[in-house]
Chains A and B, each alone.
Chain A
Amino acid sequence: MKALIKVGYACNEHCTFCHTQELREIQGTSADVERKIDRAKALGHTMVVLSGGEPTIRPELMHWAGRVAAAGMDFGLVTNGLVLAYAEVLERLLALRLRYVYMSLHCGVGETHDRMVRAESFATALRALDNLQGRGLQLTVNCVVTRANLRQLRSLVDVIAPRTDAVLKFSAVEPKGGALRLHDLVVPRISESAAAVLDALTYGRAVMPGGDARLRHGGFPLCLLPGFEHSYDDLRTHAYWTMVETDEANFYPVDDRNKQHPSPTCDDCRLRGPCPGLFRAYHQRYGADELRPQTLGVRGNAFDWVLEAVDDAPSQGCPLRDDGVTPWEPARHLFVRHQGRVARYRATTRDFHDDTLTRAKHELGQIYLDASRKPAPNDFARDLVKLSRSEMCSPCPERAHCTGMFEPEFSDVFERDDAAVRTRLAALAGDVLEIGCGYGRTTDVWRPGLEGGTLRYTAVDPDPEAIAATQAALPAATLHCGEAELVLTALPTGGFDHAVALHAWNHLGDAVAVIDALARVVRPGGELWLVDDGVFGLARTRAQHELAQRSEAALQHHRNDDAGRAHARIAGRGWTLVERHDVGPTTSNQWLLRYQRCPT
């Protein structure tokens, strides 16, 4: 777990695209950096990485490295590497637990590199790279892609290929600082630079020993790098959890707030979780037309916070507020207080974007402690304990930006919400069509009506075993095996009084096609009931998390709509909304929409 400390912004290069170009005069004091090193240790970090500016030009470099090592942490550098061309400097740093180097090199053609950094440094950088080879370092060579090197990226692949310890990363240039000032000269269109990076990555895959394992990219929308979606690289993939700028007093979690996923373009993209999206400044200038969202494909609807530590709760006060709330990520950290102890969890998932995690945790309260020992809980009422924001947070002035203290709430929200829906569905009469009946989940709802002659029940499901199980439980039912989109085309127009989809909406491949087909088969005035689950998070032990990771349970969701998002798809397609229940802090993760078929 790394902490990034920016020691000041002076540098021995002067890159055209440098995003701290206006800050070059600002230098942190040595005492300030020492205090931050000590703070990193207190927060539980295992490595301190110094950055700038250029941290290696500071005369205190060895002193800081020594302080990090003396505190029992490893040491790392984000650097242009030039000082590491001195073999003896590198030797001393290695002895002080240097384990990680993230080094800039922007082209395999010396003239281009030197022009980009406005210094004659290419040869020195190569000497440093040769020194770094074979030293057991985690070594990344970072190339910022600008208009200057766009057409020469393969040359860098050729330079890095034989230096087998190095991972090569291509980074999109952020329109900020120098790159913003010289925007038209420096910043290429994202589709153009992504195409050049895709070419270089493909070339690297063919010629580099180690292939994909040594190739990364950062800051590019994943939809523009097909075949390399999993090669993304950022502060989190490098295990950074906090950072501190030179003028900041405390650490803050690393985040992607300088980027965005433009809506509605990215709303349904399955790559959204790990994707950086677009830099905000870029989107402001060019919009999102270059993006190619990947809307098809399955995804998960749950994530884990994994237990990191358990401490005694202080008898008075809040341990978060007392120690400063800023280092803890509002969404990705989770603190749970119970019976005099405080457990700290952390979510590392990249299946979901931070915004989704934040909403699930802080807006919707969809946080549960997994009390089961199963790979995936399948009886929510018994397996999950709802966690709610502690009352102690209510008067706290830090509440809005704190990760918060949570406590177990021993109320059975799942059983309560489920029972309410079942009771109402059991009162339906006439011709009922269920989309996605599953393994007899609702047979007890329909059986009294079927046996009493008030209900005729038809169901559709793509799973033959589910169909067989439902048929065995309800012999009088009419069952169709197949995808709903196809089966519905063969059902009679106006043949049903009610259509019901329980926990099926987000599983449908083409939900809108199903809605349109239902508009045909449901009689005017008939009802459509949609009930489904929203995204939720589970607090789990590491053993539970790993058991789940090893599970062979297949992802089945084609989207993660909440009630609002589902309604946005249905609105204007022949249905009138008559009832809506959203997910919220006092509910389970189940939402409901009820519609009436328009008369015409």
Chain B
Amino acid sequence: MSESLFGMPPANVDADIAEGRVALTVDTSLHSLDAIYAAAYAFIGRCYVLLERPAPERVRVVLAPKPSGADGDALRALIGEFANELLSATWRREITRSNRALIEAVTMQAFAGALGSPSLDDLEAFQFGDEPFEDPLGIAQSWEEKYRKKPRTPEEPTE
């Protein structure tokens, strides 16, 4: 039997307290399907979540707490929490959308900076240790080692 819950708009929220479930009908022009999925996902540990499409612009989210026996207050708290989570998911999605270019640039930089695009062969050959690197060209020699004239030893012939 469908009942309204105190403080919740009956046009959007209905509950069947005897059956222990509560439903929110969502206007998809306000919240995208992605946001509804994201909010629903946050509840799957605690509830069985069912999605229905009662009308073209509407999605009905039914929450049935896994331990049965929830009373009206518990169902009210649950659907209220879901409504807030839905708003949060919609807002996060909006932030992500407006920052998409920046996020992609930073992510690309992070991946490029880490390893480029290594193949499995590259990874197999990669040296992860902290041994000193080889210096075949003598680049890492100090300037004094490389350029400073050595003092003559007594055995060396002089010109």
Collect the chain A residues with CB atoms within 8 Å of residue B116's CB.
Answer: 91, 94, 135
Cβ–Cβ contact B113 & A65, under 8 A: no
- Indicate the size class of the contact surface on chain A: 35 or more
A96 to B, closest residue via Cβ: B130
* Complex interface residues of chain B between 55 and 111 (CB less than 8 A to chain A): 108-111
Cβ–Cβ contact A135 & B130, under 8 A: no
Q: Which of B137, B142, B143 has the most CB of A within 10 A?
A: B143
Known: A66-B130, A92-B127, A118-B147. A57 touches B112 (CB 8 A): no
Cβ–Cβ contact A12 & B109, under 8 A: no
Contact of A65 among B112, B130, B141 (CB under 8 A): B130
Cβ–Cβ contact A95 & B113, under 8 A: no
Cβ–Cβ contact A61 & B132, under 8 A: yes
Contact of B113 among A57, A60, A66, A136 (CB under 8 A): A136
Cβ–Cβ contact B133 & A13, under 8 A: no
Known: A92-B133, A136-B113. A10 touches B126 (CB 8 A): no
* Chain A CB within 8 A of B144 CB: yes
Collect the chain B residues with CB atoms within 8 Å of residue A97's CB.
Answer: 114
Stretch at the interface among A78-86, A221-229, A479-487, A488-496: A78-86
* Chain A CB within 8 A of B54 CB: no
A65 to B, closest residue via Cβ: B130
B105 to A, closest residue via Cβ: A136
* Chain A CB within 8 A of B1 CB: no
Cβ–Cβ contact B142 & A11, under 8 A: yes
* Chain B CB within 8 A of A59 CB: yes
Contact of A137 among B113, B135, B141, B146 (CB under 8 A): B113
Contact of B143 among A63, A89, A92, A118 (CB under 8 A): A118
Collect the chain B residues with CB atoms within 8 Å of residue A13's CB.
Answer: 143
Rounded to whole angstroms, the CA-CA distance of A118 and B147 in the bound complex is 9
Contact of A56 among B111, B140, B144 (CB under 8 A): B140
Contact of A12 among B114, B128, B132, B139 (CB under 8 A): B139
Rounded to whole angstroms, the CA-CA distance of A89 and B135 in the bound complex is 10
* Chain B CB within 8 A of A134 CB: yes
Cβ–Cβ contact A136 & B112, under 8 A: yes
Cβ–Cβ contact A63 & B115, under 8 A: no
* Chain B CB within 8 A of A62 CB: yes
Cβ–Cβ contact B141 & A62, under 8 A: no
A91 to B, closest residue via Cβ: B126
Cβ–Cβ contact A86 & B133, under 8 A: yes
* Chain A CB within 8 A of B129 CB: yes
* Chain A CB within 8 A of B131 CB: yes
Contact of A85 among B112, B129, B131, B139 (CB under 8 A): B139
Cβ–Cβ contact A14 & B139, under 8 A: no
Rounded to whole angstroms, the CA-CA distance of A150 and B73 in the bound complex is 79
Rounded to whole angstroms, the CA-CA distance of A86 and B136 in the bound complex is 10
Cβ–Cβ contact A62 & B126, under 8 A: no
Contact of A99 among B111, B113, B131, B132 (CB under 8 A): B113
Known: A63-B130, A95-B128. A86 touches B113 (CB 8 A): no
Contact of A135 among B112, B140, B144 (CB under 8 A): B112
A121 to B, closest residue via Cβ: B139
Collect the chain A residues with CB atoms within 8 Å of residue B147's CB.
Answer: 14, 118-119
Rounded to whole angstroms, the CA-CA distance of A66 and B128 in the bound complex is 9
Collect the chain B residues with CB atoms within 8 Å of residue A12's CB.
Answer: 139-143, 146
Cβ–Cβ contact B140 & A57, under 8 A: yes
Collect the chain A residues with CB atoms within 8 Å of residue B131's CB.
Answer: 62
Rounded to whole angstroms, the CA-CA distance of A279 and B116 in the bound complex is 42
Cβ–Cβ contact B143 & A11, under 8 A: yes
Rounded to whole angstroms, the CA-CA distance of A137 and B110 in the bound complex is 9
Known: A88-B133, A136-B112, A136-B113. A124 touches B139 (CB 8 A): yes
Contact of B142 among A10, A86, A92, A95 (CB under 8 A): A10
Cβ–Cβ contact A94 & B139, under 8 A: no
* A65 smallest CB distance to B (angstroms): 7
Cβ–Cβ contact B113 & A83, under 8 A: no
* Chain B CB within 8 A of A341 CB: no
Cβ–Cβ contact B139 & A83, under 8 A: yes
Cβ–Cβ contact B129 & A62, under 8 A: yes
Rounded to whole angstroms, the CA-CA distance of A86 and B111 in the bound complex is 21
Collect the chain B residues with CB atoms within 8 Å of residue A61's CB.
Answer: 132-133
* B9 smallest CB distance to A (angstroms): 32
Cβ–Cβ contact B139 & A82, under 8 A: yes
If A10-B142, A59-B132 are given as contacts, then 18 extra A-B residue pairs at C-beta distance below 8 Å, sorted by A number, are A11-B142, A14-B143, A24-B144, A62-B132, A62-B133, A82-B139, A83-B140, A86-B134, A86-B135, A89-B133, A91-B116, A94-B115, A94-B116, A95-B128, A98-B113, A124-B139, A136-B109, A137-B113
- B residues with a Cβ closer than 8 A to A are 108-116, 126-135, 137, 139-144, 146-147
For the complex of A and B, the 9 pairs showing the least CB-CB separation, nearest first, are: A136-B113, A136-B109, A136-B112, A59-B132, A63-B130, A57-B140, A66-B130, A62-B130, A14-B143
6 contacts between A and B (CB under 8 A): A10-B144, A66-B130, A94-B116, A95-B115, A99-B113, A136-B112
